[in-house]
Structure 1
Amino acid sequence: MSELARGGQFLVKETKSEDIFTPEDFSEEQIMMRDTVKEFVDREIWPNKDRFEKKDYALTEESMRKAGELGFLGVAVPEEYGGLGMGFVSTMLVCDYISGATGSFSTAFGAHTGIGTMPITLYGTEEQKLKYVPKLASGEWFGAYCLTEPGAGSDANSGKTKAVLSEDGTHYKITGQKMWISNAGFCSVFIVFARIEDDKNITGFIVENDPSNGISLGEEEHKLGIRASSTRQVFFNETKVPVENMLSERGNGFKIAMNALNVGRIKLAAACLDAQRRTISGAAKYANERIQFNTPIASFGAIRSKLAEMATSVYAGESASYRAAKNIQDRIEARVANGESHQDAELKGVEEFAIECSILKVAVSEDVQNCTDEGIQIFGGMGFSEDTPMESAWRDARIARIYEGTNEINRMLSVGMLVKKAMKGHVDLLGPAMKVAEELMGIPSFDTPDYSELFAEEKEMIAKLKKAFLMVAGSAVQKYGPALDEHQQLLMAASDILIEIYMAESVILRTEKLAKKQGADNVKEQIAMAQLYLYKAVDIVNIKGKEGIASFSEGDEQRMMMMGLKRYTKYNNMPNVVALRETIAAKIVSEGAYPY
């Protein structure tokens, strides 16, 4: 293994396929864990979809207790606090496969294991961890996270909830209103963010749910999807919280909230994967059974095209999610080996890859929405009916683009964090950007490249897409400097380019590694998916690149960059996209399920 990757470095450094982790690299223990989780979902969750859709909150709570008994709630919790202490990849794996059947249970699971338990595990004192974490890891208690307020959504640090120290200095009195609180209806402990006096930043507190202590709940919210996920407003009226229940230090709440969201983002990407696999499998089965014009609709090109695109998206999502998860795990393990505590190592390990976490959150949450939408379309009129699983899958998917920071916020964050990393010297963007600028002024090579090796052109294309990003982003930073934050539409365009580069590179590298291991002839469908994903990525980079360039340049400068963009998004050998889709679809239709 080469030296450890750094977050954001994928943009300026070539990654070798042998240096990335893929789902084909799961250990026997991980495969056993995956199968155990799938068995649980198929037994406890999937058969009860109707009850979840009818807002059976008690069923959600009961299912969570069963998940706790099987150890699923403590996968990421260190063994000394009653958890399984498994690595980051394994925690992603559980999050992935436990989330496929219904968004209601997935949300309850994610809110509890992530933002409900993790802040105490990562920021709590030894006493706090020993007191609360074992009960949360076992499912004896459930956690919830109180950050959002009526006036504080994306601007999380603007909350009005107050924490006032008592005269004798023994406790704080918390007063305020929180909204959209997942698990509020059955949780035992809240992570609450409040402001002390006129502090610049909010502070975190661990608050036990005791109605006699000034805590009251609003009615269950009636939502588009995730209907059996308990979502309520929580009101605090001079709720007494012992001073020893402050989480971390005074004023550190905003940092806790942001770091919790980083982990939440990559876990949310994982939680959108199995929903896509199940949607594809359901759509393929239906398409094989549905006869029109004396033929199964699975034989029609229009349907096969949809199945191929759906499969390609989830295959790319898997590739990128597990690549990033292993990078995070490697970084955590290296820090622990250097003597850091598990708390510090995990915090810094995830923070290092915050850019990738934002990229994944956006890409995979949008893919699951597209996948479920096409699932409805394949079912036709039946897809619109509550009698089929497609309708609820589509509604459940919609929230994924909103929580853990909206996709708009995450798009801007990904580019903003990359620029900050460059300014700190953690990622050298300036050098490569200057080389691209020099290249634009030079004469392009007209040599015929050698594409005899598998993915030779595709890897060259990814290198060119990186140049396109460096050209657009480099020129934008040069023009606007720190004021770049004010140009949100430009940031959004640059972010879409960044996202496509990471996703396309991940899927190419995964498939190259697979082909080297199993032989290209044995993975022709995966090769087709990698090539199809890249083709679409190139298109998006071209469109978003033009949009970005036109927004901040004119005259000769604009013409030069537009020519550069054309050069960087040009195939020498255009793939036959129709044939690629047909190769992918043939396998899905023959197996009647997502087969990878």
Structure 2
Amino acid sequence: MSDFIRGGSFLTETLAPEQVFTPEDFTEEQRTIAQTTADFIAGNVTPHLEQIEKLDYGLTRTLLREAGEIGLLGADIPEAYDGVALDKISSTLITENMARGGSFGLSHGAHVGIGTLPIVFFGNEEQKQRYLPALGSGEKIAAYCLTEPGSGSDALGAKTKALLSEDGRHYRLNGTKQYITNAGFADVFVIYAKVDGDKFTAFIVDRDTPGLSIGPEEKKMGIKGSSTCPVILEDASVPVENVLGEIGKGHQIAFNILNIGRYKLGAGCIGSAKWAIHLSTKYANARAQFNTPIARFPLIQEKIADMAIELYGAESVIYRTAGLIEKALEVKEPLQATAEYAAECSICKILASEMLDQVADEGVQIHGGYGYTQEYEIERMYRDARINRIFEGTNEINRLLIPDTLLKRAMKGEIPLLAAAQRLQSELFTLGVHMDDGVPLSVEADLVERSKKTLIFVAGLAVQKYQKALAQEQEILRNMADLVINVFAMESALLRAKKKLAQSNQEQASLSIDLARAFVNRRFGAIEQIAKQSLAAMEEGDTLRAQLSILKKLTRHLPVNEKALKRKIAQPFLEAEKYAL
């Protein structure tokens, strides 16, 4: 990879394939770590999935301890505190492969991510020495307490209070935290409360703290094997030395940790989707109707192809983002590196969680009636997938964060959106249909550039029309976010396939090329529809007609033969009975 790339710069810059990290770039060491994780899940966790689903705390803790023994809990913990200190690609691969363990993967993710990372990044030396070795080994398990009964998306609206005792040695915490993963068996809680009722602050709170109690398990739709309980604080006495970070700066911890949690959640969705494709292709080959394996039916092949196409796009985004963060760590502190890509992390969360929902849904459909029974694993995966669009910030909240983050960067001059909008005015007169010149992916490269222009066109009109009032136009902001998501995903898939082609030959890269073509063409159609909807929401009459005329120029293209492309894409996945990349 080349030099450091600014967050959001994909909106106005055209990157070369070698500037992005892709799954084809994994080192042997990274592949070994991924395989070690996969082997651990297959050998240690999978045989006990049914028992885990019954909320066996002891078993989950035992398995987490076993994971810690082989370094799967300490990937993001520095070596000075007995961690493994792996690169971010390796850490992401662990998260992806843990997802095969269903609810156990969630217990693991909450512990190593949002539970442990606040101490890694914000703890003082004494706190790190006291907690991190035990968290890295699995001797202690962590949980993260932000959500409350009255504040979910509005995290800073939390009501939990912290008052300093008269002797100045303790804070007394009062309030209730809700939907806390790992709460039933966690030893260490990162809890947010408002000091003196207004200074949002993070605390490290031990389970045996007087005044802390755990409520009953929530009865959930899915992820039944993960513990989800309220944490109740009634004059919980927390030593002043357990303040995490600075008084009144808890929002910095909360939001930075959520950035990491979002792209890691996306990685988990990738792992689950790969397993769903394995289950679905295996079933399609084995299941016969009308004396024919259903895998031979074009509509089943279409479903397999659609699953693979969406997964390819999301996987490209996840590892591009992981690569960006890894590269940024060469020039920035860890928190600065993740904050740089806050918009990209939100994209990871939205794109991958919605991809997994689609993949799991199609997996159930391929299984037919059997997919609706608990005898088949795809049923559990379908229920488990739904939560991903809710936690780590709902997809709706993340959609509002994306344009807000990018527009603020543009106002600071960090993203030259204004200059791009001015260039677009002159470029509109020369736009025509890009004819297929026989160069692989040249048409798709043109579609990506047109998508960027369409985004800049629509966003520019929205900013001009609403100005400061744009914050109240949530439907327009949502549409802007969807344009951004599609652009980043299309470009990620395109650059990945181009890189594969550059590293091999056209025959070896043919599947990647087909997946990228299908993904880019599908998302380009979505770009056009979102843009039309946005323009119609902002203007009417002759003004709208003029804008739609411009949009027609921007989105003029020849459609791809999806039927033939999908039939071709499905075959290698059905033959391998897995995500064959």
What is the identity, as a one-letter code, of the residue corresponding to 2:295?
A: A
Q: 1:595 & 1:101 partners in 2: Cα distance?
A: 20
Aligned to 1:584: 569
Q: Find runs of 4+ consecutive structure 1 residues off by over 6 angstroms.
A: none
Aligned to 1:41: 41
1:205 aligns with 2:197: no
Q: CA deviation at 1:444?
A: 3.5
Q: CA deviation at 1:447?
A: 8.0
Percent identity, aligned pairs only? 42
- Structure-to-structure mapping, 1:382-461, within 5 angstroms: 382-440=370-428, 443-446=429-432, 449=435, 451-461=437-447
Aligned to 1:489: 475
Q: 1:502-524: CA deviations, max 9, x gaps? A: 11110111011101111111121
1:325 aligns with 2:322: yes
Cα separation, partners in 2 of 1:446 and 1:349, compared to 1, 3 Å: closer
TM-score by length of 2: 0.98
Q: CA deviation at 1:99?
A: 1.2
Q: CA deviation at 1:485?
A: 1.2
The secondary structure found in structure 1 opposite 2:47 is helix
Aligned to 1:339: none
Q: CA deviation at 1:569?
A: 2.1
Q: 2:240 & 2:432 partners in 1: Cα distance?
A: 70
TM-score by length of 1: 0.95
C-alpha RMSD of the superposition? 1.3
Judge conservation of contact 1:100–1:272 (CA < 8 Å) in 2: no
Q: CA deviation at 1:57?
A: 3.2
Aligned to 1:121: 120
Cα separation, partners in 2 of 1:322 and 1:446, compared to 1, 3 Å: closer
Q: 1:183-202: CA deviations, max 9, x gaps? A: 11111111010011142x41
- Structure-to-structure mapping, 1:133-532, within 5 angstroms: 133-199=132-198, 201-210=199-208, 213-335=210-332, 345-440=333-428, 443-446=429-432, 449=435, 451-532=437-518
Judge conservation of contact 2:476–2:534 (CA < 8 Å) in 1: yes
Judge conservation of contact 1:471–1:561 (CA < 8 Å) in 2: no
Q: 1:549-583: CA deviations, max 9, x gaps? A: 11112233322221222222222x42111111011
Q: CA deviation at 1:455?
A: 1.1
1:111 aligns with 2:105: no
Cα separation, partners in 2 of 1:446 and 1:509, compared to 1, 3 Å: closer
Aligned to 1:19: 19
Q: 1:274 & 1:115 partners in 2: Cα distance?
A: 19
Q: 2:311 & 2:305 partners in 1: Cα distance?
A: 10
Q: 2:57 & 2:396 partners in 1: Cα distance?
A: 31
Q: 1:389-435: CA deviations, max 9, x gaps? A: 01000011000000000000001111110001101111111110122
Q: 1:249 & 1:298 partners in 2: Cα distance?
A: 58
Q: 1:418 & 1:456 partners in 2: Cα distance?
A: 28
Aligned to 2:542: 556
The secondary structure found in structure 1 opposite 2:218 is coil
1:66 aligns with 2:71: no
What is the identity, as a one-letter code, of the residue corresponding to 2:111?
A: H
Judge conservation of contact 2:212–2:236 (CA < 8 Å) in 1: yes
Matched residue count: 581
Q: CA deviation at 1:467?
A: 0.4
Q: CA deviation at 1:82?
A: 1.2
5+ residue gaps, structure 1: 336-344
Q: 2:150 & 2:215 partners in 1: Cα distance?
A: 17
Q: 1:489 & 1:6 partners in 2: Cα distance?
A: 27
What is the identity, as a one-letter code, of the residue corresponding to 1:550?
A: A
Q: CA deviation at 1:437?
A: 3.4
The secondary structure found in structure 1 opposite 2:329 is helix
Q: 2:127 & 2:417 partners in 1: Cα distance?
A: 42
Q: CA deviation at 1:482?
A: 2.1
5+ residue gaps, structure 2: none
Q: CA deviation at 1:51?
A: 2.0
Q: 1:447 & 1:173 partners in 2: Cα distance?
A: 67
What is the identity, as a one-letter code, of the residue corresponding to 1:578?
A: K
Judge conservation of contact 1:53–1:392 (CA < 8 Å) in 2: no
Q: 1:425-468: CA deviations, max 9, x gaps? A: 1111111012223444xx34458656332211111110000000
Cα separation, partners in 2 of 1:248 and 1:446, compared to 1, 3 Å: closer
The secondary structure found in structure 2 opposite 1:14 is coil
Judge conservation of contact 2:161–2:197 (CA < 8 Å) in 1: no
Cα separation, partners in 2 of 1:53 and 1:446, compared to 1, 3 Å: closer
Q: CA deviation at 1:162?
A: 0.8
Cα separation, partners in 2 of 1:413 and 1:446, compared to 1, 3 Å: closer
Q: CA deviation at 1:333?
A: 1.7
The secondary structure found in structure 2 opposite 1:375 is helix
The secondary structure found in structure 2 opposite 1:357 is helix
The secondary structure found in structure 2 opposite 1:21 is coil
Q: CA deviation at 1:588?
A: 1.2
Q: 1:428 & 1:143 partners in 2: Cα distance?
A: 42
Aligned to 1:574: 559
Judge conservation of contact 1:100–1:276 (CA < 8 Å) in 2: no
Judge conservation of contact 1:468–1:564 (CA < 8 Å) in 2: no
The secondary structure found in structure 1 opposite 2:416 is coil
Judge conservation of contact 1:313–1:533 (CA < 8 Å) in 2: yes
The secondary structure found in structure 2 opposite 1:333 is coil
1:539 aligns with 2:520: no
Q: CA deviation at 1:237?
A: 1.0
